[in-house]
Amino acid sequence: MIRFYGFPLSTNVERVALALAHKGLHVEKIVIDPADRAEVRRVSGQDLVPVLVDDEGMVVSDSMEIVRHLEKRYPDKPLYPSDPARRAEMFVFIDWFNRVWKRPPNDMEAEMKKPTPDKERIEKLSLAMAHALYLFDGMLTGRKYIMGDEFSAADCCAFPFVKYATIPAPPDDDYLFHRILVEHQRLGGKHANVAAWISRCDERPRV
């Protein structure tokens, strides 16, 4: 049995929840209290979620590393292209998203937590997030999903973050990071491709 450790509202946990459901894998979900991560530390040697223990006992952490591991261990209903060039393109997109796209909201969160936030810097970071929506909208031209007509690891990677452009955070969500994703990704009547993609992904199951 696969064991999947996470806590509610986590964008990184949702990445893996989408991948597991896409592959039709049965898992034991272990809900972690964000204030008490002792069990995650015991299992994985670190505090971050998600963590997955596969049916051979291998422990994997980091959301997109877990998705990549799932592809190798359970290849049915693939999330990555079989063509080497297309597969490489997907790895480039995922790396760009994690290293480049995520930096403005992360930096904005850190800035906002300072005693005296730099409003000019926050505005620049906000503009970078708004600009990224144009890139997504362009990529989604004539496509159902980010890399083509099939749901893939690229969608698992991006959707849990970009979804806040149209999906409000639930009332019990007090994460500043999520509030930033809501407030600084407003579509403003533009980016119809992004809106349609968010709706399409949101209909997909999660474990």
Q: What are phi and psi of 175, to 5 degrees?
A: -75, 125
Q: How far is CA 205 from CA 5, 18, 23, 156, 166, in A?
A: 18, 6, 10, 12, 18
Quote the distance between the C-alpha of residue 42 and its chain's center.
25
Residue 43 has a pLDDT of 97
Of 157, 155, 131, give the one whose Cα is nearest residue 145. Answer: 155
Residue 92 has a pLDDT of 98
Residue 177 has a pLDDT of 98
Q: Count how many Cα atoms sit within 13 Å of the Cα of residue 52 in the half-sphere of its side chain.
A: 28
| Fold classified for 2-73 | Glutaredoxin (3.40.30)
Residue 143 has a pLDDT of 97
Q: Which residues of 26-36 are buried (b: 16+ CB within 10 A; e: fewer)?
A: ebeebebeeee
Neighbouring-strand partners of residue 33: 36
Amino acid at 201: C
Q: CA-based angle 130:179:90, to the nearest 5?
A: 50
Q: Do domains 2-73 and 84-202 have the same CATH topology?
A: no
CB 165 within 8 A of CB 187: yes
CB 168 within 8 A of CB 204: no
**Cβ atoms within 10 Å, residue 121:** 13
Q: CA-based angle 87:91:96, to the nearest 5?
A: 145
Token pair of 27 as six digits: 């898992």
The full set of domain ranges for the chain reads 2-73, 84-202
Residue 200 has a pLDDT of 98
Q: What is the pLDDT of residues 69-98, one digit of tens each?
A: 999 999 999 999 999 999 999 999 999 999
One pLDDT digit (tens) per residue for the chain, 207 residues: 999 999 999 999 999 999 999 999 999 999 999 999 999 999 999 999 999 999 999 999 999 999 999 999 999 999 999 999 999 999 999 999 999 999 999 999 999 999 999 999 999 999 999 999 999 999 999 999 999 999 999 999 999 999 999 999 999 999 999 999 999 999 999 999 999 999 999 999 999
Residue 1 has a pLDDT of 92
Amino acid at 77: K
Residues 155, 200: Cα–Cα separation, whole Å? 11
Q: How far is CA 202 from CA 72, 142, 161, 198, in A?
A: 25, 19, 12, 6
| Fold classified for 84-202 | Glutathione S-transferase Yfyf (Class Pi); Chain A, domain 2 (1.20.1050)
